[in-house]
Chain A
């Protein structure tokens, strides 16, 4: 399975942009890059996903490197509610099923 590498933790201030990096040097041509986040004692929440081009939605932006070996999740203006563990995942097709295999993620702390 293609793996991702993320920093264990990051810290930012409220109302400032946050850039969460992810390395996936073994990504294959058909792997989509997914980002999910998990608040304490809750199930993960979808944030964004992309293949090659940068993506924007109401929650965040996803910047994908030209060689696709890394990507960055951008929260444009962090709030306290954005404090969570952020997971960068390569959606892999394993034995015909599209599985999401979670790594350790980045624990994001937002300071008021």
Chain B
């Protein structure tokens, strides 16, 4: 199957700093990628839809100025958590679909963010 890779797998940062997470589609081009957040023992929550060459679409309640998304190419989307606080500590996961009708989604391995 197609491969979606996230980097880093885990990161620890100090409160007030910013952290960038990369999501790459390794063997296909993805015009749309999705970013999720998952807290312990909970399901994935969709944060935003990342669109290549245009602005991301954020879900209700997600602060677009705090979670900056850039989709500069067909194989790379980045999520930057700005001015991180301990409550931003979570498991962040990206996803992309192989172009086509009714295709499945492929997910990155996730990034564990801990803000201290």
Given the interface pairs A43-B107, A43-B108, A44-B44, the reply to whether A97 lies near B32 with Cβ below 8 Å is yes
B46 touches which one: A41, A101, A105 (CB < 8 A)? A101
B17-43 interface bits toward A, Cβ cutoff 8 Å, 1 = contact, 0 = none: 000000000000000101010000001
A44 and B97 within 8 A (CB)? no
How many B residues, CB 8 Å from partner? Answer: 26
A36 CA to B95 CA, complexed, in Å: 12
Contact: B110 with A41, CB < 8 Å? yes
Query: Could you say which residues of chain A place their CB within 8 Å of the CB of B34?
Result: 99-100
Q: How many residues of A contact B (CB 8 A)?
A: 24
Contact pick for B104, options A43, A49, A87, A97, CB 8 Å? A49
**A99 and B109: CB pair below 8 A?**
no
| B61 on the A face (CB < 8 A) | no
* Cα(A89)–Cα(B44), bound, Å: 12
A-B contact count (CB 8 A): 56
Interface of B is mostly: strand
**Could you mark each residue 3-35 of chain A with 1 if its beta carbon is under 8 Å from any beta carbon of chain B, else 0?**
000000000000000000000000000001010
- Chain B residues with CB under 8 A of A38: 44
Q: How far is the CB of A68 from chain B (nearest CB, A)?
A: 15
Identify the interface centre among A32, A41, A44, A87: most chain B CB within 10 Å of its CB. Answer: A44
A51 to B101 CA separation, bound complex (whole angstroms): 12
3 nearest CB pairs, A to B = A43-B107, A46-B104, A102-B44
